[in-house]
């Protein structure tokens, strides 16, 4: 992963000292709440429903074992013994005391971590493919480009107070695992007809209150000009973005209002002034950043006969390998996904002991490297095939080997009303109730790939719009209800789901999911996935099934009551 140079470290250290003084002055009454609010937000500190919440940046999801052990110490010492992985690949602590936050930030700085720009109307954490650098289908490793974007955007004076928060994602593989189409800027690394490297640029994607798929504004921007082009996009946004209405302030609203062709025209007009300017990249600069990544030097290995024998001889291991192990670009290696979705646990949560245990697994099997995913799981990027069986045994001992990656119980969920002051409804209990209903692994394997995403409010932190089944918490006269969408998808065919009808009470949600699954099973062809069946037969069939069975349950309940 990327190793700080002296400038990176100095920036982080200076920010820690600055915020420590700001916090001291606030606690002493020298700063008002209104004065302190933007300062704490610039350092990732929110005031949630019950306590402060600290959001820690994990640039493009990359972590090492030393950092994991520091996170374990923070969870154990300053929180309630756990942390949470978010859909932006960051780490959140939900219970720190305000007085302790400067000390936490100081501990993070000592292991090259920070909370800078994880909040506020600025450019947030740049996200990417959790398998970057090792994916078998990779075109170009996106991590150096993500790091360049991080360095360019950190404390950029022109973009520190944008109309609204701003999110960038970068994909460097054939399959988009960064969901670039639902970001303010989505960058797809491509080669043109001449074989030159550059970026396809998408703008105006986003979920939340007004979900929109981003539109292409440039089919090819040479790599040397990508910062200049992004700067042109942000200047147009900064100039014309709404500042009078937070709900209409995102760049997606501006792109929709102007139309993508007109927005692209204005960007090109601005780009003409920036092209070949100070932000133009050089080969020397790319090499400087790329050289700071201390990736292990991997040589191809013979395919491991022991691994093949273990697959054949142990059904449980084979099931885990089928769901949680991914192809690697180097023969003899694999990438492993550790599931943070065991039954009865909030999706994406890791205890302090598990942080330490994952650090140990990383050191033992994966060259000390770990990735967080926007699906709220953990990836060990490079594991020898010969070590997979031992890794599986060790991961199972700490509760991180559930073979459910990509299956129904691999649920993406925001913290919801249990923590978030913005939420209309709880998310975690709904996820747990669905996991409890579908606790038969054989049945999950039969159902096949199915993504469920849950958000506690319209901000869509659980990305419910792009779930095969999306669940949105809504408030109805002070009670928690849940709206259901189906047909959403991420990746190369990113699609927004469609609402099936009126919302449901919390207690109904496992039955609603059961009805959707039963309708899928009755209508699927061969090994068709849930999303493919929805696309083929449409939403109406599912809607009819869900509400007919709901009516039957309510009538049966009334009859039993009488």
Contact 348, 333 (CB under 8 A): no
List pLDDT tens digits, range 278-332. Answer: 999 999 999 999 999 999 999 999 989 999 999 999 999 999 999 999 999 999 9
CA distances from residue 114 to 11, 33, 41 in whole angstroms, order as listed: 10, 23, 13
* Helices 315-324 & 388-397 angle (0-180, nearest 10): 90
What does the DSSP assignment read for 486-520? E--B-GGG-B--EE-SS-EEGGGHHHHHHHHHHHH
List pLDDT tens digits, range 383-424. Answer: 999 999 999 999 999 999 999 999 999 999 999 998 898 899
Of how many residues is the chain composed?
562
What does the DSSP assignment read for 390-406? HHHHHHHHTT---S-TT
Written as six digits, the tokens of 351 are: 């205890």
**Distance from the first to the final alpha carbon of the chain:** 65
Contact 235, 158 (CB under 8 A): yes
Is the Cα torsion angle 385, 387, 393, 396 positive or negative in sign? negative
- Whole-number pLDDT of residue 344: 87
Q: Tell me the mean pLDDT in the region 259-269.
A: 98
Q: Tell me the C-alpha distance between 392 and 320, whole Å.
A: 8
Q: Tell me the C-alpha distance between 286 and 140, whole Å.
A: 13
Question: Model pTM?
Answer: 0.96
Q: Tell me the C-alpha distance between 178 and 61, whole Å.
A: 11
The closest of 337, 357, 315 to 407, measured between CA atoms, is: 337
Query: Residue 457: CB partners within 8 Å, gap ≥ 6?
Result: 420, 422, 423, 424, 425, 472, 473
- Whole-number pLDDT of residue 48: 84
- Provide the mean pLDDT of the chain: 97
**Three-state secondary structure call for residue 233:** helix
Q: Tell me the C-alpha distance between 347 and 280, whole Å.
A: 41
List pLDDT tens digits, range 522-536. Answer: 999 999 999 999 999
Torsion of CA 182, 183, 184, 189, to 10 degrees: -110
- Whole-number pLDDT of residue 391: 98
- Whole-number pLDDT of residue 562: 65
- Whole-number pLDDT of residue 177: 98
Q: Tell me the C-alpha distance between 24 and 20, whole Å.
A: 6
Written as six digits, the tokens of 491 are: 């990746």
Quickly tell me which residue has 């395919």 as its tokens: 303
pLDDT band at residue 166, thresholds of 50, 70 and 90?
very high
Q: Tell me the mean pLDDT in the region 117-125.
A: 95
Is the Cα torsion angle 389, 394, 397, 399 positive or negative in sign? negative
């Amino acid at each position: 992963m990327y190793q700080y140079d002296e400038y990176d470290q100095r920036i982080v250290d200076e920010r820690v000292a600055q915020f420590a003084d700001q916090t001291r002055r606030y606690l002493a009454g020298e700063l008002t709440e209104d004065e302190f609010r933007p300062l704490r937000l610039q350092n990732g500190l929110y005031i949630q429903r019950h306590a402060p919440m600290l959001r820690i940046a994990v640039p493009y999801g990359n972590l090492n074992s030393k950092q994991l052990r520091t996170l374990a110490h923070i969870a154990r010492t300053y929180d309630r013994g756990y942390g949470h992985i978010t859909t932006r690949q960051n780490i959140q602590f939900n219970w720190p005391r305000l007085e302790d936050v400067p000390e936490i930030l100081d501990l993070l700085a000592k292991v090259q971590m920070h909370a800078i720009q994880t909040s506020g109307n600025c450019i947030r954490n740049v996200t990417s493919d959790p398998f970057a650098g090792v994916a078998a289908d990779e075109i170009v490793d996106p991590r150096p480009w993500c790091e360049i974007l991080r360095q360019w955007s950190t404390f950029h004076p022109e973009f520190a107070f944008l109309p609204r928060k701003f999110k960038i994602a970068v994909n460097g593989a054939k399959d988009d695992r960064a969901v670039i189409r639902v970001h303010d800027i989505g960058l797809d690394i491509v080669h043109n007809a001449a074989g030159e490297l550059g970026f396809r640029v998408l703008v105006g994607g986003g979920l939340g209150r007004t979900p929109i798929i981003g539109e292409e504004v440039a089919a090819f921007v040479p790599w040397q000009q990508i910062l200049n082009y992004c700067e042109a996009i942000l200047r147009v946004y900064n100039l014309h973005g709404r500042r009078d209405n937070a709900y209409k302030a995102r760049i997606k609203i501006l792109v929709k209002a102007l139309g993508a062709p007109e927005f692209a025209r204005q960007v090109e007009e601005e780009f003409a002034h920036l092209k070949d300017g100070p932000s133009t990249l050089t080969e020397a600069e790319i090499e400087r950043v790329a050289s700071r990544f201390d990736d292990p030097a991997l040589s191809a290995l013979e395919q491991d006969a022991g691994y093949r024998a273990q697959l054949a001889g142990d059904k449980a291991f084979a099931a885990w390998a089928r769901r949680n192990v991914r192809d690697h670009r180097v023969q003899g290696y694999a990438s492993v996904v550790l599931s943070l979705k065991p039954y009865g646990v909030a999706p994406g949560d890791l205890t302090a002991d598990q942080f330490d245990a994952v650090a140990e697994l990383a050191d033992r099997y994966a060259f000390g490297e770990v990735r967080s995913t926007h699906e709220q799981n953990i990836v060990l990027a490079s594991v020898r095939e010969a070590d997979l069986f031992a890794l599986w045994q060790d991961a199972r001992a700490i509760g991180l080997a559930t073979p459910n990656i990509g299956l129904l119980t691999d649920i993406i969920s925001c913290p919801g009303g249990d923590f978030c002051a913005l939420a209309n409804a709880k998310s975690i209990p709904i996820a747990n109730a669905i996991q409890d209903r579908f606790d038969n692994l054989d049945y999950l394997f039969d159902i096949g790939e199915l993504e469920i995403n849950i958000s506690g409010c319209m901000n869509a932190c659980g990305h419910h719009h792009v779930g095969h089944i999306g669940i949105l918490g809504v408030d109805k006269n002070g009670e928690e209800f849940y709206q259901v969408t189906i047909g959403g998808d991420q990746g190369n065919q990113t699609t927004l789901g469609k609402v099936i009808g009126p919302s449901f009470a919390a207690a109904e949600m496992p039955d609603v999911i059961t009805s959707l699954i039963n309708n899928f099973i009755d209508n699927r062809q061969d090994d068709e996935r849930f999303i493919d069946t929805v696309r083929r037969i449409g939403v109406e069939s599912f809607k009819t099934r869900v509400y007919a069975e709901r009516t039957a349950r309510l009538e049966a309940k009334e009859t039993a009551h009488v």
